[in-house]
Every structure is written in C-alpha cells, then in structure tokens.
Amino acid sequence: MTSQQAQLDDAVDAITAIMGSLPLNLGQRALNTITNVSHGQNKLHLLGFPAEIRNRIYEHALIEDDAIDVNPTGLPQPALLCTSRQIRTEAIGIYYNSNKFRVLIQSWDGAKFTKFYEIFEKNTTTRNLYANIRLSFHGGPNWANLFRWLKVAHAGEMWTLEWVWDLDDQTKEFATVGALFTTLMHTTRHLPWAEAKQIMFSLRMMLAFVDGAWIMD
C-alpha cells in the first residue's frame, strides 16, 4: 500500500467516525476532498479540509477518555501536534482544553513541572487551567523539594495546593502543607521572596509536628 493510499484510508476512517455529527453540507465537502484525492486531482493533506472538519478531526485524534499522566520529564506531544506549525496552532488548544491531566508529584517535587505549567497556561482558558488538572502525590516528606515548589509558586510559575484542597479526604500532612501555600499566596505574595522564604522556614516546624522527617534534610 502506498503512503498516499494509507493517508487516504486514515482520512476516510476519521471522516466516517465523525460523519454522523456533521451538518450535511460539511460532510459533503469532506467527502468531496477525499473523492478528489482518490481521483488523483491533488495530494491528500489535512489542511485541505474545511476548518470545521479539521477541528472535528483534531477532536477525534486528540481527546482521550482517561486522564493523561504528566511526569517530571515532561509530557510527550501527540504526533499530530508535530506535523506542521499551522496544525499545531489550530489543534493545541483542543488538546489542552479538552483533556484531563494527572500531574504525578513525587516527594513534593512540584517545582519540576514548571515547564508543563507554562505550556498549559499558554494554551488553555483560566477555568481549565484549574479544572483539567489533578495533582497525584507519591513518596514521602522532602522539605527541599517543597521549598522549591513554594518558591516557584510565589513567582506564579506553578500551581499551589489551594484550589485542589478538600479537608474531608486529605491527611493532616496535606492540611499543613496547604496552610503553608495559603499563607504564601494570601499573606506573603506581595513580599520579595527573600522575606517570604523566612516566613516559610519559620512555618516548617508545623510539618515537623506531623512527621519528623520534614526536618531531616
């Protein structure tokens, strides 16, 4: 099978999958594009379809049923977003606004996700910046990691724990860390970090009362 024929088959599959939800005129325009290609009138390319059809194809290709895991090493970009600058520009907002993401925090290393936060913030709405993210925590206490997270949160470069807070299903440790973030965002946000970090250090003892490991590093 030739590469063009394979592309044609992929396009037919995608259009067939979304055809039932398309207005009649859009479906006909999509089929006309495919028909022209099959008759050798032009080369098949996603950008040859009307914008409305391209958006439906992006949704079909990029939206996942389950949450997408994000590791500190980064989030691999879907192949579709790497095909061309125009396709990336058109499709990246659909990818970040329509999927749920699970950020895998290991031993409070939230500062390692600043690059993902930057990309996500740039390509999503303010509402989805919070609604589409869930922080998943693993590992034990690590003050050095948490301190770096507090620092980047103070600079506005990473999520805090405030908006994921639910005392009904969290431990005393989470409640205490949440108190540090609340203090950081509502009391010391206007202060230079040199002053804010001294307050964070003074509050570290609250964590030690919960688990002595917080003062071991």
* DSSP, residue by residue, 75-110: -PPPGGGGS-HHHHHHHHHHHHHHS-EEEEEETT-G
Task: Check whether residue 34 and residue 90 sit in a common domain.
Answer: no
In this model, does residue 154 exceed pLDDT 60?
Answer: yes
Band (166; pLDDT cuts 50, 70, 90): very low
In terms of Cβ atoms closer than 10 Å to its own Cβ (0-12, 13-18, 19+), residue 105 is buried
Phi, psi of 53 (to 5 degrees): -70, -40
End-of-domain residue from the set 47, 62, 77: 62
Output b/e per residue, 172-182; b: 16+ Cβ within 10 A: ebbebbbebbe
In DSSP terms, which residues pair with 102 in a beta bridge?
69, 134
Strand, coil or helix: what is 18? helix
Q: Are residues 79 and 181 in the same domain?
A: yes
Domain range holding 32?
1-62
Determine the Cα–Cα distance for residues 62 and 80; give it in Å rounded to an integer.
Answer: 8
What does the radius of gyration of the chain's CA atoms come to, in whole angstroms? 23
Packing angle between helix 51-62 and helix 3-19, nearest 10 degrees?
A: 90
**Is residue 152 within 8 Å of 111, Cβ to Cβ?**
yes
Comparing CA positions, the residue from 142, 128, 216, 134 lying closest to residue 177 is 142
State the DSSP code for 20.
Answer: T
101 backbone dihedrals φ, ψ, rounded to 5°: -125, 140
Q: Are residues 68 and 152 in the same domain?
A: yes
Element (H, E) at 209: helix 193-210
User: Against a cut of 0.85, is the pTM above it?
Assistant: no
The three-state secondary structure class of 117 is helix
68 with 42, same domain: the answer is no
CA distance 206 to 177: 9
Encode pLDDT of 170-194 as tens digits.
Answer: 678 888 888 889 888 888 889 999 9
Q: Looking at residue 24, what is its pLDDT? A: 42
Residues 132 and 178 in one domain: yes
pLDDT in tens, 35-91: 444 444 444 467 777 788 788 888 888 999 999 999 988 887 888 888 889 889 999
- First vs last Cα of the chain: how many Å apart? 60
Shared domain check, 91 and 49: no
Q: Which of 54-63, 163-172, 196-205 has the lowest mean pLDDT?
A: 163-172
| Total domains present in the chain | 2
